[in-house]
Amino acid sequence: MVLERHSPASGATGVAAGMLAPVGELSFGEQELLKLNLESAEMFPGFVAELEEATGIATGFDRCGALHVALDRDEAEQLRRRHRLQTELGLEAEWLTPRRCRELEPGLAPSNAGGVHVPGEASVDPRAFCAALLGGLEQQGAEVRSNAKVVEALISDGRIEGVRLDSGEELRAANVVLASGAWAGALEWLPEAARPSVRPVKGQIVALRGPAEDPVCDRIVASERVYVVPRPDGRLIVGATVEERGFDTTVTAGGVHELLREAYRLLPDIAELELLETGAGVRPATPDNLPLIGPGSIEGLVLATGHYRNGVLLAPLTADRVAATLAGTGVGV
C-alpha cells in the first residue's frame, strides 16, 4: 500500500525536469554519489522498457545526450576543471570548441566559450514516468491512497508495526518505507530520534512550448546557472533555482526572471516560445548530498529519501535496494 499525503506527483516529482545526467552534473568531492548515479543510469533503459511494456504507458525516456556550455571565460575555466575531473575518472565527456558547440546546437548563443558534450546522458518525463509506475502498481494489485495523512507511528518494543491515519484507521505492516521526500526530516508522527537528517531546498522551474518539428535544441543544454531539457512534443523545461526557503513553494517573479534570463543567454530563440507553466517544489537534501536508502534507526523502518537533485535518476537503484532490504538480502546507502 502506498499512502500519499496529497496525490501522486504533487511534490518534487511533478516539477522535476527529469534530467538523467550523472556525468554532466558531477561535482567535486562527490565520487560516491557519482557511483550511485552511474549505477542507476545504467539500470534506467531496462527499467523503463520493462515498465512501458507492462503498462503500455510511455515514460518519455530519451537518450538525447547533453551539452554543458560556458558563456564566458570564467565559466569556461570552471567547466574545464570539471572536464578534467570527468576525464580522470574515465567518464565519457568531450571538450568542444565554441564552433563545435554551435554545430551540435545551432540555436546556441554565438558568444559561447566552449562546452562539454556528454552523449550518454538522457532524460525522462517525470509525470509520465510516475503515471507508468502507478499503472504498474495497479497491475500488481497494490493500493494507492491519495489524501492519506499519517498522524502516528504504531511502535511496540522498539519496532514500528504500522501507522495511524487522521481518520483513526490503523494500518499494520511488517515494514514501513519512509519515502516522504523533503518532509522526511520534519514528520511529527515519527519519534524525533528516528527522523532522518533531511532538509527542504526549494527549486523553481518554467515550462515553455514551441513547434515539435523545429525544437530550440535537440539535447539537454546547460550552463553554469540553468539547464534546458527538451521534450519530444515541443515542450522545453527550464530549471531550476536553488533556494534555502524551507517548505515555501511560492513561484516568484524573481525566480522566473532568473531562469528565463539565463535560458535566453544560452538559447536566444526561447524568447519566441509560449510560456506554458511555472512551478516550484522542494528537494530532499542531506548534509553530504548522499541519499538515505535502507534500514532506519527503528526496526521495521526503511528509508528511501534524501535524493536531493537526483530523485528521478536514482529511482531504479532505490527500488532495487529497498526491495532487497525488505527481502533481507541487501544493504542500504
Q: Which of 221-225, 226-230, 327-331 has the lowest mean pLDDT?
A: 327-331
Cα-trace Rg, the chain: 21
Is 324 in a helix, a strand, or coil? helix
Residue 265 belongs to some domain of the structure: no
- Grid cell listed for 63: 537518450
**The dihedral of CA 231, 237, 238, 244: what is its sign?**
negative
- Complete DSSP assignment for 210-227: --TTS-S-SSEEE-SS-E
Of 174, 175, 125, 167, residue with least CA distance to 145:
167
52-60: average pLDDT: 97
Which pLDDT score is estimated for 328?
A: 86
Q: Where in the sequence is the domain holding 140, given as residue range(s)?
A: 1-61+120-192+289-333
Asked whether residue 332 carries a pLDDT value surpassing 60, the answer given is no
What pLDDT shows up at residue 135?
96
Smallest CA-to-CA distance from 128 within 8, 259, 299 is with 8
The C-alpha cell at 93 is: 565527456
- Could you tell me what percent of the chain has a pLDDT over 70? 98
Question: Is 141 among the domain residues?
Answer: yes
Average pLDDT, the chain: 96
How far is the C-alpha of 269 from the C-alpha of 109, rounded, in Å?
9
Averaged pLDDT for residues 78-94: 97
95 within domain boundaries: no
Residue 69 lies in a domain: no
Which residues are CB-contacts of 242 (< 8 A; sequence separation ≥ 6)?
201, 202, 203
For residue 330, pLDDT beyond 70: no
> DSSP states of 50-86 as a string?
HHHHHH------B---EEEE--SHHHHHHHHHHHHHH
- Is 176 part of a structural domain of the chain? yes
Cβ-contact 38, 103 below 8 angstroms: no
Give the tens place of pLDDT for each residue, 155-174: 999 999 999 999 999 999 99
Helix, strand and coil percent figures for the chain, each rounded to 5: 35, 25, 40
CATH number assigned to the domain comprising residue 313:
3.50.50.60
In a domain, 38, yes or no: yes
138 pLDDT more than 70: yes
**How many residues are given for the chain?**
333
Greatest alpha-carbon span in the chain: 66
Read off the pLDDT of residues 65-83 as tens digits, 9 standing for 90 and up.
999 999 999 999 999 999 9
Looking at the domain assignment, is residue 53 inside a domain? Answer: yes
pLDDT at position 331, please? 56
Model confidence over 103-125: pLDDT tens digits? Answer: 999 999 998 999 999 999 999 99
Cα separation, 185 vs 306, whole angstroms: 9
| Long-range contacts (CB closer than 8 Å, 24 or more residues apart) made by 320-328 | 320/43, 321/293, 321/294, 322/177, 322/293, 322/294, 325/293, 325/294, 325/295, 326/175, 326/177, 326/302
Sign, CA torsion 322/229/126/78: positive
Give a yes or no: residue 236 inside a domain.
no
Instruction: Provide the number of structural domains found in the chain.
Output: 1
- Is residue 279 pLDDT above 90, yes or no? yes
* DSSP symbols for 196-265: -S-EEEEEEEEEEE--TTS-S-SSEEE-SS-EEEE-TTSEEEEE---B--TT-----HHHHHHHHHHHHH
